[in-house]
Amino acid sequence: MKKSLARGALSLAVLSLAVGLAAPAQAKTEITLSRFFGACDAQYGNVNDVNKASGECGIITTLVNQFNATNKEDIFVKPQIIEWGPYYTQIDARILSHDVPTISVMHEAVLGDYVKRKLVEPLDDGFKSVGIDTKDFTGHAHRGVTFGDKTYALPFDTHSWLWHINVNLFKKAGLVDASGKPILPTSPDELLKQSKQFKDKTGLPYFAMPVLNEGAAETRTFDTWLYQQNGTLFPNGPTKIDLHSKQATNALTLYDSLMKAGAITPGLDYGAANQAFENGKAGVLMCGTWVIEDFTLLSKKPDSALANDGYTVVPFQNLYQKKAVWADGHSWVMLKGGAKDEKTRHAALVFLKFLYDHDADWARTGHLPARQSVIDSPAFNALPHRSDIKEIASTGYSLPNTVPRQFAIQEMVGEEISNMLSSGKSITDVQQQAEDRVNKLLSK
């Protein structure tokens, strides 16, 4: 009897074990994340601690890793990395083929096109369900993701256009004050005068900036000079640009004068312009927030042209009536058709809350946080140069989100300005041809 009971107990134990082995594990909820920012799995693919990462690619990669390793709801985020150039073309193709990512990164300048086509989910109710407080968005971030009374994206940052300065070269040019800070111009005439002094003393151009294959760069500077004069590309509404205004003519004239004075590095594309600045071949690089961390790290190397406290950065210098600068923002959207059911939608919102909670980590790239509480925090202000640029959260300007095709407009205007800088095209031709191209696009 005892043997029979023992055999029975053993049989039940074996059966229970077999059933346990046969039962499937709790399935994870997989969501897909389409993004640019580059690929760096060789360096960060197995890093789960965002504090050990740097740069856009490193930080976003480790944030995803950290979420996958620590979230308590069995959610797995699968990144889908797309190159920056064809990113939106590929997103459009995936929408048409019904292969829609669950979450996608999107520039706020582009977001309006997708909202108008009713391709993006409004997120207010979803944000409330996971504890994302839209009242904490900065003014610039709020404007970028809000259409009517609805929020269509989670803003991740404000990125903008800056002056990155080689302090060592400014000292050589005699353009520093008693404390060693760069003396910066406050008008176009002062800029032309100082750029001449800079070149006379150093033999180098004042500015490093791309003039080839990077129309967006020229437009960002042009837009900034417009905004500083209370000007706009669209004085007559969102479907027609005007480059013949006094403000636009002033901005183009300043560009032309600087180029003719040898104050701008000639014939460089984006990468070469950055390299010229890194190598000490120009005093100021016109570039974005996203390179602050790289240049800060470079300045700590003793053999760098930026060594010995030789690097600083300021918001784009005000040369006209008011502080203003071109700005945009990265945001995260949920395209319609990406979340196939409520479980997937909830998982996506949980991950968005994680990104919201880690906005301060993303700000280490150099971008300004999208959350006012982070901008006001001691930790953010302790980061190098951040207290110098945080004003951009209130002085950054974008085209109204009623303006369609903003990236295409940016490229067309920039290409015409590039032609002026590289081949001597007249201001009159730039004005007319940019207007013709853009207004034809907007009339369709």
H/E segment holding residue 298: helix 292-298
Give the least confident one: 213-222, 244-253, 297-306: 213-222
Residues 175 and 142 placed together within one structural domain of the fold: no
The secondary structure of 93-150 as a DSSP string is HHHHTT---SEEEEEHHHHHHHHHTT-B---HHHHHHHT--GGGB-HHHHHHHEETTE
Residues 165 and 185 placed together within one structural domain of the fold: yes
Among 286, 188, 228, 222, smallest CA distance to 427 is for: 222
Residues 176 and 299 placed together within one structural domain of the fold: yes
Residues 244 and 358 placed together within one structural domain of the fold: no
Residue 206 lies in a domain: yes
Q: Calculate mean pLDDT across residues 267-291.
A: 96
- Please tell me whether residue 361 adopts helix, strand or coil conformation: helix
Cα angle 302, 262, 433 (rounded to 5 degrees) comes to 120
Q: What is the reported pLDDT for 338?
A: 97
Residues 82 and 191 placed together within one structural domain of the fold: no
CA 376 to chain centre: 20
Residue 17 lies in a domain: no
For the stretch 174-190, pLDDT in tens is 999 999 999 999 999 99
Residues 387 and 310 placed together within one structural domain of the fold: no
Count of domains for the chain: 2
The 10 Å CB-count burial string (b at 16+, else e) for 304-320 is: bbbeeebbbbbbbbbbb
How far apart (Å, rounded) are the C-alpha atoms in residues 268 and 276? 9
Q: What is the reported pLDDT for 34?
A: 98
Residue 412 lies in a domain: yes
Residues 413 and 269 placed together within one structural domain of the fold: yes
Each as own residue / partner, the long-range contacts of residues 230-237 (CB below 8 Å, 24 or more positions apart, any chain) are 230/321, 230/322, 233/399, 233/409, 233/413, 234/399, 234/400, 234/403
Residues 230 and 86 placed together within one structural domain of the fold: no
Please say which residue of 393, 415, 435 terminates a domain: 393
CATH of the domain at 108: 3.40.190.10
**Cut 0.85: pTM above it:** yes
Residues 278 and 420 placed together within one structural domain of the fold: yes
DSSP state of 318: P
For the stretch 144-167, pLDDT in tens is 999 999 999 999 999 999 999 999
Residues 150 and 65 placed together within one structural domain of the fold: yes
With cut-offs at 50, 70 and 90, classify the pLDDT of residue 3. Answer: very low
Residue 251 lies in a domain: yes
Residue 313 lies in a domain: yes
Residue 2 lies in a domain: no
DSSP state of 271: H
Give the least confident one: 7-16, 82-91, 319-328: 7-16
Q: What is the reported pLDDT for 237?
A: 87
Give the domain range for residue 282: 160-327+405-443
Is pLDDT of 228 > 70?
Answer: yes
CB 28 within 8 A of CB 75: yes
Q: Which residues lie closer than 8 Å to 41 by C-beta, 6 or more apart?
A: 61
Q: Which residues lie closer than 8 Å to 431 by C-beta, 6 or more apart?
A: 243, 244, 248, 249, 252
With cut-offs at 50, 70 and 90, classify the pLDDT of residue 400. Answer: confident
CA 56 to chain centre: 9
**125: exposed, middle or buried (C-beta count within 10 Å: 0-12, 13-18, 19+)?**
exposed
Q: What is the reported pLDDT for 398?
A: 92
Each as own residue / partner, the long-range contacts of residues 303-309 (CB below 8 Å, 24 or more positions apart, any chain) are 304/278, 305/166, 305/168, 305/278, 305/279, 305/280, 306/166, 306/167, 306/168, 306/278, 306/280, 307/168, 308/168, 309/167, 309/180
Tokens 């959350």 correspond to 371
Phi, psi of 300 (to 5 degrees): -85, -10
Residues 113 and 164 placed together within one structural domain of the fold: no
Mean pLDDT of the chain: 92
Residue 134 lies in a domain: yes
Residue 8 lies in a domain: no
Residues 106 and 172 placed together within one structural domain of the fold: no
Greatest mean pLDDT range, 2-6, 55-59, 210-214: 55-59
